[in-house]
A and B are shown apart, each in its own frame.
Chain A
Amino acid sequence: MLRAFEKGADGVFVVGCMEGDCHFKTGNFRARKRVEQVAAILDTVGVGGERVRMYNLSSGEGPLFAQYAIEMDAHIRALGPSPVRTALEAQKTAA
């Protein structure tokens, strides 16, 4: 997740199974903990923890996935480009 932001991603959303339905029992709980950790780090370094999110749904819920993707897209567009991306582009222009 952090690598994506480091390379300039404006937002990252993680999708896991419905809580209680994870094939790997606790995989989605662990993923949520990691998403929370990343959000805290992003807040500390000035990128903004609201740029990472986790959604839970079942693999059969295609339309719901599309809805979440649209929601996340709108959310990130409202936030604007990530400050890391802005800095990377500035560096490239200056070089």
Chain B
Amino acid sequence: MIVADKKPIEEIIETVKAYDRILVLGCNECVTVCEAGGKKEVEVLASALRMHFIQEGSKKTFDEQTLERQCDHEYLEEIRSVIDNYDAVLSLACGVGVQFMAEKYHTTPLIPGVNTCFLGATEKRGLWTERCQACGSCVLAHTAGICPISRCAKRVMNGPCGGSTGGKCEIDKDLDCAWQLIIDRLRDLDRMDDYEIVTPIKDWSTERAGGPRTVAREDVQV
């Protein structure tokens, strides 16, 4: 899922200062799971902002709502009837949701309330780690399910570099060497022959470096 982290309240206070009627809009998907932008976080943030601004004698209002997702037309349409009641929307969705909202509600100022960080998983409550960088051409079949693009600092494709020591990466002693993990797993799966296959130079055009990407599925478009 997309992992995001809450923006500091001080930063949000600065960005909402210019507006009076604000809708704090959460998202029920990824940002809920990583406890950054779900219904609970909307309530907490709205409450904190009200308490801050009332002390200044401000009459700002902070309404609260959480949509199922902010990256789908159907869910964003749910607020069409109320959007004009607000001077700005403070969206706690990931960067996708904030942008999709901005495209849909062209004349409403949008403020992000979280920093979108990476594609990752919940290792345990309160700990999310990166797993995928959406390179667009997945090699996990050949690397025992461990990704050398997202988990290797150098993104090498054919085994560990010279900096791999004791199973750790040279950039950080607490960071596992991805290729050590791959080899260990290939060995456990009795597939060390896969390690002998030389992977050709990766086609990076499907990665972000090739420019903003699109997936078009004509087989499902009506």
Contact = CB atoms under 8 A, between A and B. Distances in A.
Do A and B actually bind? yes
Interface of A: 2-3, 5-6, 41-42, 44-47, 83-84, 87-88, 90-91
Question: Counting chain A CB atoms within 10 Å of each CB, which of B47, B49, B50, B51 scores highest?
Answer: B51
A46 B54 contact: no
A6 B47 contact: yes
B66 to A, nearest CB: 17
Given A41-B44, A44-B48, A45-B48, A87 B9 contact: no
Nearest to A45: B52
B214 interface: no
Contacts of B48: 2, 41, 44-45
B40 to A, nearest CB: 10
Contacts of B9: 41, 44-45
Nearest to B54: A87
B166 interface: no
Contacts of A2: 43-44, 47-48, 51
B10 A44 contact: yes
Looking at chain A's contact residues, the main secondary structure is helix
Q: List 8 A-B pairs, minimum CB-CB distance, nearest first.
A: A2-B47, A45-B52, A87-B54, A45-B51, A44-B9, A41-B48, A87-B55, A6-B47
Contact of B55 (A41, A44, A46): A46
Interface in B1-42: 8-10
A3 B44 CA distance: 9
Contacts of B43: 2
A83 B26 CA distance: 28
Contacts of B55: 45-46, 83-84, 87
A58 B48 CA distance: 32
Contacts of A84: 51, 54-55
Nearest to B59: A91
Contacts of B52: 44-46
A12 B152 CA distance: 48
Nearest to B52: A45
B42 to A, nearest CB: 12
B57 interface: yes
25 contacts: A2-B43, A2-B47, A6-B47, A41-B9, A41-B48, A42-B51, A44-B8, A44-B9, A44-B10, A44-B48, A44-B52, A45-B9, A45-B48, A45-B51, A45-B55, A46-B51, A46-B55, A47-B51, A83-B55, A84-B54, A87-B55, A88-B54, A90-B57, A91-B54, A91-B57
